[in-house]
C-alpha cells in the first residue's frame, strides 16, 4: 500500500491482531508453507476481516 494514512496503519495493526488469533489456534511453530489450504484461508480471512472492521469503525459512513 502506498501513502498509507493513520487509519490504514491502524487497520493493518487490527488485521495483524486478527491474524494472531488464528495463528494462536493453529500453532505459532508452523511455517506458512506447512499450512493446509483451510488454515491459510482462515488466516487470510481473519486479516481481511480485521482490516475491514477497523476501517468501518473509523468511518462507518463509508462502505468498505
Residue extents of the structural domains in the chain: 6-58
DSSP annotation string for 8-61: HHHHHHHHHHHHHHHHHHH-TT--GGGS-HHHHHHHHHHHHHHHHHHHHHH-TT
Give the CA dihedral 22, 27, 28, 29, nearest 10 degrees: -150
Encode pLDDT of 14-25 as tens digits.
999 999 999 999
Q: How confident is the model at residue 2 (pLDDT cuts 50, 70, 90)?
A: confident
| Cell numbers representing residue 35 in the block | 499450512
Lowest mean pLDDT, pick from 13-17, 36-40, 43-47, 58-62:
58-62
pTM for this prediction: 0.81
Cβ contacts of 53 within 8 Å, gap of 6 or more:
14, 18
Inform me whether the pLDDT recorded for 10 exceeds 70.
yes
Amino acid at each position: 500500500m502506498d501513502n498509507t494514512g493513520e487509519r490504514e496503519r491502524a487497520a493493518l495493526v487490527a488485521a495483524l491482531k486478527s491474524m494472531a488469533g488464528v495463528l494462536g489456534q493453529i500453532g505459532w511453530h508452523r511455517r506458512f508453507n506447512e499450512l493446509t489450504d483451510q488454515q491459510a484461508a482462515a488466516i487470510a480471512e481473519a486479516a481481511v476481516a480485521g482490516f475491514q472492521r477497523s476501517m468501518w469503525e473509523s468511518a462507518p459512513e463509508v462502505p468498505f
